[in-house]
């Protein structure tokens, strides 16, 4: 289709030639929504793609703070407020050396469509800094968060932009930023940040929500195909919040997570990952997974130095299901081929765009594999953030059972909606197409009704 080809060339060569990750995300979506664009010329006439693919606002700022050695440190901060068509901007803050405009634009674009899939009234945004909290003292992290919020506060609010946590930003960092925001604004606006500690406005199950949500959607998919989750062997990558609580919910439902990984290597435990030990190593002690091998000698530990080229050990094992929960583009074409060779039948993305374009195309061409994209599967985190906003607005605290039930219902509805959308366009089982079309239509149709802005 000429319109799609024009937009791909416009984004990749003219508008954002250096934004490779953003362009990758855009390409996946545009190629998926071809059927809806062909049947609705109004989208081209009203230049919906041009308007949708341009962030509404990108805010950049300098952060200056003093470390424990009384040395001045300088970092860069940014907030990409991508789209507010469906509601106030909503999306996490990431503190990591890899943070760049390209990555934040990609994340904010994905967040816009992901948030649309939840059916909740929230737009899309993402932000963060190249600050690395690893190796920093609590006092240094606190001082950085205060300095970060001294600029960010100007651009957020409970009806404008509600940030949450992401990589490098836990309840601790959110707590520091909330305190500074409250001080500057002289207002207890606890709906301005989500992912807060339970002590002051946080929601139960927020930390667990993304991982739990991935498994709830998986459970709906398996039920739809008359499959039982009990006894399924699951390869999981990562060892942060998403991976840990994906493993936790898998174990609760009777599945067997057999792998986890970190920046130094991968653990394979044929008996099933010991969740208490994983939490102790990663959540409490912040140690390498080599410690897991020391505690459980029967487990296999593969350091990164022994990985095959363009492959990762975490995906080179016999499994029924694979759930990448680490970072973008972690699952390559070689990994996809290894999973297929090892009889994996379902790939469900827990991290944001963890599969490369080549890997996704490989999965979609295989008729005996089901692939669920991140914008659907990992929507549980933002959904529970919105539930936190609802609790804050009503000045109530819900039980974990109530939050869990609402999360389960939201994820089940997302699965049914994207499945039905794919079937509507004669692409049964193509959940990438279903998710992209549904997310796009919800934003695009609302944008048409709001006129030009």
- 126 counts as catalytic: yes
Query: Where is 61: in which H helix or E strand?
Result: strand 57-66
**Phi, psi angles (nearest 5°) of residue 211:** -65, -45
Three-class SS state of 354: coil
- Between CA 205 and CA 212 the distance in angstroms is 9
Residue 407 lies in a domain: no
CA dist 354 → 91, 385, 418 (Å) = 18, 22, 19
CATH of the domain at 31: 1.10.285.10
Band of the pLDDT at 31, cuts 50, 70, 90? very high
Whether the CB-CB separation of 289 and 239 falls below 8 Å is answered with yes
What is the reported pLDDT for 13? 85
Domain count along the chain: 3
- Residue 383, pLDDT score: 95
Phi, psi of 132 (to 5 degrees): -110, 110
Q: Residue 111: inside a domain, yes or no? A: yes
Q: What is the pLDDT of residue 420?
A: 98
Residue 14 has pLDDT above 90, yes or no: no
Q: Does residue 379 sit within a domain?
A: no
**Among candidates 58, 174, 74, 75, which has minimal Cα distance to 126?**
58
pLDDT at 78: 98
Statement to judge: residues 356 and 290 lie in one domain: yes
Examine the domain organization and report whether 49 and 89 are in the same domain.
no
Nearest Cα neighbor of 323 from 409, 381, 261 is: 261
Arithmetic mean of pLDDT, 78-90: 98
pLDDT exceeds cutoff 90 at 191? no
pLDDT at 1 over 80: no
One domain for residues 214 and 344: yes
Which one from 126, 232, 249, 282 is the annotated catalytic residue? Answer: 126
Q: How confident is the model at residue 171 (pLDDT cuts 50, 70, 90)?
A: very high
In terms of domains, do 324 and 448 share one?
Answer: no
Instruction: Report the C-alpha gap between 286 and 295 in whole angstroms.
Output: 15
Q: Please check whether residues 220 and 365 belong to one and the same domain.
A: yes
**Structural domain of 224:** 209-372
What pLDDT band is residue 17 in, cutting at 50, 70 and 90?
Answer: confident
Residues facing 434 on adjacent strands: none
Q: Are residues 339 and 268 in the same domain?
A: yes
DSSP, collapsed to helix, strand or coil, labels residue 303 as strand
The arithmetic mean of pLDDT across residues 399-427, rounded, is 97
pLDDT value of position 338? 98
Q: Residue 32: inside a domain, yes or no?
A: yes
Looking at 372, 392, 419, which one is the last position of a domain?
372
What phi and psi, each to the nearest 5 degrees, are found at residue 281?
Answer: -70, -45
The pLDDT score that the predictor gives to residue 28 is 95
Predicted confidence band at 15 (pLDDT cuts at 50, 70, 90)? confident
Per-residue confidence (pLDDT) for residue 16, from 0 to 100: 86
Give the CATH number, domain containing residue 82. Answer: 3.40.50.10860
- The residues with which 259 forms a beta bridge, in sequence order, are 235, 268
| 41 within some domain | yes
In order of 112, 114, 381, 392, 452, the CA distances from 198 in angstroms are 27, 25, 16, 11, 41
Mean pLDDT of 279-302: 96
d(CA 117, CA 436) in angstroms, rounded, equals 9
Domain match, 70 and 46 both: no
CB 125 within 8 A of CB 89: yes
Q: Is residue 201 part of a domain?
A: no
Q: pLDDT at residue 146 above 80?
A: yes
285 and 180 in a single domain? The answer is: no
Q: Which residues contact 199 (CB under 8 A, 6 or more apart)?
A: none
- Residues 33, 88, single domain; the answer is no
| pLDDT at residue 12 greater than cutoff 90 | no
Pick from 256, 295, 300: nearest CA to 279: 295
Asked whether residue 236 is assigned to any structural domain, the reply reads yes
- Check residue 72 and give its pLDDT: 98
HSE-CB of 415 using CA atoms within 13 angstroms: 25
Do both 255 and 352 map to the same domain? yes
Mean pLDDT of the chain: 96
């Amino acid at each position: 289709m000429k319109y799609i080809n024009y937009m791909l060339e416009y984004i990749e060569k003219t508008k954002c030639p250096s934004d490779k990750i953003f362009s990758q995300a855009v390409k996946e979506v545009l190629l998926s929504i071809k059927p809806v664009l062909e049947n609705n010329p109004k989208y081209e006439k009203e230049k919906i793609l041009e308007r949708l693919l341009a962030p509404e606002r990108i805010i950049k700022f300098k952060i200056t703070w003093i470390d424990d050695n009384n040395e001045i440190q300088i970092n860069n901060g940014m907030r990409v407020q991508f789209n507010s068509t469906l509601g106030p901007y909503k999306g996490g803050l990431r503190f990591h050396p890899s943070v760049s405009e390209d990555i934040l634009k990609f994340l904010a674009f994905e967040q816009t469509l992901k948030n649309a899939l939840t059916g909740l009234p929230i737009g899309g945004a993402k932000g963060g800094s190249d600050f690395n909290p690893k190796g920093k003292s609590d006092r240094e992290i606190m001082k950085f968060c205060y300095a970060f919020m001294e600029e960010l506060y100007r651009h957020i609010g409970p009806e404008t932009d509600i940030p949450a946590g992401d990589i490098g930003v836990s309840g601790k960092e959110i707590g520091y930023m909330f305190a500074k925001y409250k001080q500057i604004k002289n207002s207890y606006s606890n709906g301005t940040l989500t992912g807060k500690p339970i002590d002051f406005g946080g929601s139960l199950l927020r930390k667990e929500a993304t991982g739990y949500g991935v498994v709830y959607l998986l459970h709906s998919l398996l039920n739809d195909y008359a499959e039982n989750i009990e006894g399924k062997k699951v390869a999981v990558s990562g060892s942060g919040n998403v991976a840990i609580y994906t493993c936790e919910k898998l174990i609760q439902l009777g599945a067997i997570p057999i792998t986890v990984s970190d920046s130094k290597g991968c653990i394979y435990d044929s008996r099933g990952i010991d969740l208490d030990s994983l939490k102790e190593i990663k959540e409490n002690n912040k140690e390498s997974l080599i410690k897991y091998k020391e505690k459980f000698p029967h487990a296999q530990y593969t350091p990164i130095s022994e990985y095959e080229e363009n492959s990762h050990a975490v995906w080179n094992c016999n499994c029924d299901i694979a759930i990448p929960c680490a970072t973008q583009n972690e699952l390559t074409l070689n990994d996809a081929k290894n999973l297929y060779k090892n009889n994996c039948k379902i790939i469900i993305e827990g991290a944001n765009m963890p599969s490369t374009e080549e890997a996704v195309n490989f999965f979609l061409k295989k008729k005996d594999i089901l692939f669920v994209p991140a914008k659907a599967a990992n929507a549980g985190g933002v959904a529970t953030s919105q539930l936190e906003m609802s609790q804050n607005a009503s000045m109530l605290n819900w039980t974990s059972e109530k939050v869990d039930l609402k999360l389960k219902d939201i994820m089940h509805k997302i699965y049914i909606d994207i499945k039905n959308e794919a079937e509507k366009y004669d692409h049964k089982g193509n959940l990438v197409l279903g998710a992209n079309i549904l997310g796009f239509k919800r934003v695009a149709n609302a944008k048409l009704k709001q006129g030009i802005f």
